């Protein structure tokens, strides 16, 4: 049985590297704060003290010898901690939770990208999520070559996943496209080739369609 999220609201943000998720979350956060809400901001992997230590291992370029199965299990471990420590308490307190990546990321990155398969990933996610399901998931879709070009222009150090070959990122993108086309109304596609302002307006329009009490002043 799923954990009720009627009081709180869980919104997740997914997409390939360089798709503008973080900027979109920042924009939505500003709009929510202006409307009188105080959203809880979290990210995956990470979001908790234990999760951030797992994140450091996962993204460290020196972890290059990590097997796909190890990567998946570490992702799921971080997720299990995040759900129990942060997500469920916030939802039960009636808060809006904005999560930069969540369970769908493992379907795309480990299921498709690492070729471990959806079935394996979803079974492990079921265990980690303890019944929690996002109310809405934004899929920021941008072809991998464009995303990598964006990242190349930023002053940042590449992490282990950034350094993967284009073929890996193309498989990840295929996974996200499959979600967009699966018919589940939880998924809402955002055109990540648009400007940050246009992406934000796309997302706000979708949020208003939820007609959730926490969004009535948005």
How confident is the model over 171-196, as a mean pLDDT? 95
Using only the alpha carbons of the chain, give its radius of gyration: 17
User: What is the Cα–Cα distance from 140 to 83, expressed in whole angstroms?
Assistant: 23
For the chain, the average pLDDT equals 92
Is residue 216 within 8 A of residue 47, CB to CB? The reply is no
How confident is the model over 136-146, as a mean pLDDT? 94
pLDDT at 1 over 50: no
pLDDT at 6 over 60: no
Model confidence at 153, pLDDT cuts 50, 70, 90, reads low
User: 9-215 is classed in which CATH architecture?
Assistant: 3-Layer(aba) Sandwich (3.40)
pLDDT recorded at residue 98: 98
Backbone φ, ψ for residue 189 (5° rounding) = -80, 135
Domain boundaries, the chain: 9-215
């Amino acid at each position: 049985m799923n954990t009720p999220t009627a009081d709180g609201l869980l919104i997740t943000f997914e997409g390939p590297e360089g798709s503008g998720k973080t900027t979109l979350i920042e924009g939505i956060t500003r709009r929510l704060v202006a409307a009188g809400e105080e959203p809880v901001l979290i990210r995956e992997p990470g979001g908790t003290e234990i999760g951030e230590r797992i994140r450091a291992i996962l993204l460290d370029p020196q972890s290059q010898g990590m097997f796909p199965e190890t990567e998946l299990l570490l992702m799921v471990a971080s997720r299990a901690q995040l759900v129990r420590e942060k997500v469920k308490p916030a939802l039960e307190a009636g808060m809006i939770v904005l999560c930069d990546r969540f369970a769908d990321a493992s379907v795309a990155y480990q299921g498709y990208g690492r070729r471990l398969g959806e079935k394996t990933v979803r079974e492990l996610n079921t265990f980690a999520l303890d019944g929690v399901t996002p109310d809405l998931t934004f899929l920021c879709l941008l072809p991998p070559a464009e995303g990598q070009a964006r990242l190349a222009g930023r002053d940042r150090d590449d992490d282990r996943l950034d350094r993967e070959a284009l073929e890996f990122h193309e498989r990840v993108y295929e996974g996200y496209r499959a979600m967009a086309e699966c018919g589940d109304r939880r998924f809402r596609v955002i055109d990540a080739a648009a400007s940050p302002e246009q992406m934000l307006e796309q997302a706000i329009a979708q949020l208003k369609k939820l007609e959730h009490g926490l969004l009535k002043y948005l």
